[in-house]
Structure 1
Amino acid sequence: MNTSFRIGIELEVLLSHRRKTTEEFEDLEAFANTLVTDLEAFHSRTSRRPRPRVHNDVNGVYEGDEENEWSLTDDVTIKPDDNDQWPLELVSPILSYNKQGDWRDDVRELLRSVRKICRIESNSSCGLHVHISPPDGTSWDLDSLKSICRSIFYFEGAINAILPANRRNNEYAASNLCENSRLRGNDLGKCLRTIDDCQNNVDIADLMNDNGKRYFAWNFTNLYYGGKSTVEFRQAPEVSDESECLPWIEFVVLFINSSQRMSDHQQLSRFSRNVRGLLDFLMESDISGSDHAALHKLFRGKSGSIDPAPAKTLTTEERETFRAKESEARARNLIMKKLQRI
């Protein structure tokens, strides 16, 4: 099957400039401007390809032809460990998951280039978000979305088992079941019947995201925009290099592709609802250009299933950060902005 999904990633990191001290930067925007300039200078001295284009979007300052560029932007939830770390989110252009695998080169080269100038680190306040949309600018069809939702509920415990503890029960990537007032307390059979009752894509978003709440493990709220839209996986952990980043992107694409091949619950029931069954499920994907071997990095040493649980109770400071993040997200949706322009 030769399907070129469109993908976008949001990579939250902590950067420290290798040659400049923290005191040399007035603020995060100044740091991002310097990084853009340094990247341009580095690329002018090398013949390596691809040469990723990067711009500064801290505080939403960029207004140019940004769909083909990486964006450096701010995120209120990223908390540095040290004073010399600058919190940034690296937002990709819209990449094509094709059989040639060019998208991997784009990710690798961006991170390799940044690493020449900065130390790239991460901590538990960071995460990786992966957006996926159908090929050729088409819209998600309802049957595909229903199949994806069934797989999410079926394998939720298995996905939890391959994640680090800080990405389970996380307030920014909550369980689509346990934190969802429309589904909480339902058994799997009732959840699947509720999915079957959805009549359109907005119904799917309302169901999976509890009438429009963005911060679930799987975010369907971009379906509200109609036309080109994404399904977003928000639960991937912090990463600091391409060897950690690429397998999670592979996971999302293969999960979506395998889900679309399952027309009903009976087909899913062939797989056990644990880590072994999830890996078997992913290996059934027939998408061209996939790297099944990359998944073994995620699954190595993992087994069983971990039931979803409600997100932790937030402290006063955490609640304030959460509200600030909600306000920030309403004002900025770079992946969707880029997708709509191509």
Structure 2
Amino acid sequence: MPYIHITARDYHGHHWTGSSAHHQGSQLEEPSRVETPDFRFCVELGLVIRSRHVDHQNVSSLEVELSKQLTRAGIPNHIAGPDPSISSVSSREWTVTRDLCIPSRPKDHHFGIKLVSPFYRFSHRPHAWQSGLRRLMHTLNEHFELTTSHQCFTHVHVVPASGYWTLGQAKALAKSSLYFERCLDALVPPYRRRSVWAKSNRHNAYFGELSMAQCFERIDAQTTIEGLGLRMNWCSAVSPTGVALGKAHDGVDFQHDAYRWSFVNLNEGDGFGTVEFRQPPGSTSASEAITWVMLVGCLARLSCGLGHSLEPRHTAKLKSLGEWLVYEAKWSDIPNKGLLKDLLKQAVPVARTPGTIPGLDADAITIDEDQRLRWKERDRNIAVEKYRRHLKHISS
């Protein structure tokens, strides 16, 4: 990865572009300053949950208890059913809803549940969102058993604090998501590197045969954010996902959101919509959830500063990325930076298997995954509904 020497004096309040010299004793130019926006985010926690107090026979009953316990703990929340015309959502409260992608075990009183946070500011009063996540997870663990399966997740949606993306910002994050994909793979369990719910953007139907330099050229050539989103989430009709969704019959490739980074929500138009990082596993503690939010928030800010200076001919290095992420957490004054450092220390490099393409859609998917992919097509996009509500608040 290109090495850029960053000092505390230089880095404070800014990001850098410019020199891409390797760290081999060569003279480094002082980079130019690039202002970086703050971001807003919401996090989706997908878990398998069982009550410690009641043997619930169905998910609706569990949802009611979840909502009551959160309310007793002073956590504003509401339940969202499958029909948006019956139950609306708030961007200022937690949302409790079922998740059809997570298998439930009714006989054992375990159900797949998704909890979606309010929209928070990432680096403006960061103690507030961290405190909110801690209070939520404390309440959940006190009254419920939280477990995870391979289908569980921690999804983090981000959007600039202005409420919309510029084309340059979206391109910068798109480049970073491709360039650092192997680095981020090292931070998640092996099953989240092969998940049909978090496929590889780098090896999708559009970028798969291209070099990294060609990928960057294709990103730079995009003239609309919607077009960029299509290419970041382009899925082959004959892939296992395409076959499961009945696309193989027509043979037409299509846009699908179940990639590591989903740009599908940018279909809102004119730069509106969130970008969603979908790869992290389920979080059963506040520390885990906070760490993933910190990673995505810092990477989004870094991308807007470094996205146009990444050198695609060089291989990304997790060590350098980690140093930059920790710098960003420091200068954004994010509490508990040690959580991010611990995640980076525990990274397990991904060994490349000869003859395989990392992160490519699975060679085969289970009957259960096949069914759940189809169910997901009809599922509510709670985060987008919250985002639309959030836009009304910040514009009023």
Determine whether 1:298 maps to 2:343: yes
Please give the residue correspondences for 1:247-262 in structure 2 after superposition, counting only pairs within 5 Å: 247-262=291-306
Contact conserved, 2:69 with 2:139, CA < 8 A, in 1?
Answer: no
2:191 counterpart residue number: 166
Which residue pairs with 1:46 in the alignment? none
Deviation readout 1:55-111 (Å, 9 max, x if unpaired): 111334763562211111111111246712122001111112134211111111112
> Which SS does the other structure have where 2:374 is aligned?
helix
Question: Which secondary structure does the structure 2 equivalent of 1:131 belong to?
Answer: strand
Hey, what does 2:51 align to over in structure 1?
17
* Cα pair 1:150 1:265 within 8 Å, conserved: no
Is 1:224 the counterpart of 2:247? The answer is: no
1:279 match: secondary structure? helix
Q: Does 1:7 align with 2:41?
A: yes
Asked if 1 retains the 8 angstrom alpha-carbon contact of 2:39 and 2:301, the reply is no
2:287 aligned partner: 243
Query: How far, CA to CA, are the matches of 2:123 and 2:181 in structure 1?
Result: 27
Higher helix share: 1
User: 1:47 matched to which residue of 2?
Assistant: none
| 1:309 to 2:309 alignment | no
Looking at structure 1, the residues matched to 88 and 367 of structure 2 have their Cα atoms a distance apart, in angstroms, of 38
Q: Could you tell me which residue of structure 2 aligns to residue 233 of structure 1?
A: 277
| Displacement after TM superposition at 1:3 (Å) | 4.7
3-state SS of paired residue (2:91): helix
For the structure 1 residues 284 and 278, does the alpha-carbon distance in structure 2 shift closer, same or farther, using more than 3 Å as the test? same
**1:272 Cα offset (Å):** 5.4
| Alignment-mate amino acid for residue 251 of structure 1 | L
User: 1:206 maps to which residue?
Assistant: 230
Are 1:74 and 2:75 an aligned pair?
Answer: no
For structure 1, which segment, 163-172 or 77-86, has the greater mean C-alpha deviation from structure 2 after superposition? 77-86
Asked whether the equivalents of residues 10 and 130 of structure 1 are also in contact (C-alpha less than 8 Å), the reply is yes
Partners in 2 of 1:220 and 1:63 — Cα distance? 26
1:273-310 per-residue CA deviation (whole Å, 9 max, x = no partner) reads 13212212323427523243221221123254556231
Give the TM-score of the pair, scaled to structure 1.
0.88
Q: TM-score, normalised by structure 2?
A: 0.76
1:338 Cα deviation from its structure 2 partner: 1.2
Aligned length: 325
Deviation by residue 1:226-269 (Cα, 9 ceiling, x = unmatched)? 25311100001121110111101100001111111015244677
Query: Are positions 1:132 and 2:149 aligned together?
Result: no
Aligned to 2:22: none
User: In structure 2, do the counterparts of structure 1 residues 39 and 103 end up closer, same or farther at CA, with 3 Å as the change threshold?
Assistant: closer
Distance 1:228 1:289, change over 3 A: farther
**Native 8 Å contact 2:151 2:197 kept in 1:** no
CA contact (8 A) 2:257 2:264 kept: yes
Q: Give SS of 1:285's match.
A: helix
Structure 2 partner of 1:184? 208
- Given the alignment, which residue of 369, 373, 376 partners 1:325? 376
Of residues 282, 301, 311 in structure 1, which corresponds to 2:325? 282
Q: Pick the aligned partner of 1:97 from 122, 130, 133.
A: 122
The residue number in structure 2 matching 1:273 is 316
Root mean square deviation, CA, Å: 2.2
Secondary structure at the residue paired with 2:195?
coil
**2:50 aligned with 1:29, yes or no?**
no
Distance 1:299 1:7 in 2: 22
Give the counterpart of 1:110 among 129, 133, 136: 136
Aligned counterparts of 2:381 and 2:89: Cα–Cα separation in 1: 15
Could you tell me which residue of structure 2 aligns to residue 39 of structure 1?
70
Shift in CA distance, 93/209, structure 1 to aligned 2, threshold 3 Å: same
SS at match of 1:132: strand
- 1:140 positional shift: 0.4
**Partner Cα distance (2:370, 2:90) in 1:** 32
Q: Which of residues 214, 219, 226 in structure 2 aligns to 1:195? A: 219
How far apart are the structure 2 equivalents of 1:273 and 1:13? 32
What is the rounded CA distance, in whole Å, between the counterparts of 1:212 and 1:16 in structure 2?
35
Task: Tell me, in whole angstroms, the C-alpha distance in 1 between the residues paired with 2:333 and 2:37.
Answer: 9
Per-residue CA distance 1:194-253 (angstroms, 9 max, x = gap): 111011111110110115211110000111102531110000112111011110110000
1:125 counterpart SS class: coil
Residue 340 of structure 1, aligned match among 388, 392, 396: 388
Equivalence for 2:32: none
Secondary structure of the 2:165 match is: coil
2 CA distance for matches of 1:116 and 1:67?
A: 25
Greater C-alpha Rg: 2
Kindly indicate whether the alpha-carbon contact (under 8 Å) linking 2:41 and 2:158 is maintained by their aligned counterparts in 1. yes
- CA 1:267/1:285 → structure 2, altered by over 3 Å: closer, same or farther? farther
1:48 corresponds to: none
Going from structure 1 to structure 2, the CA distance change for 1:309 and 1:35 (only over 3 Å counts) comes to closer
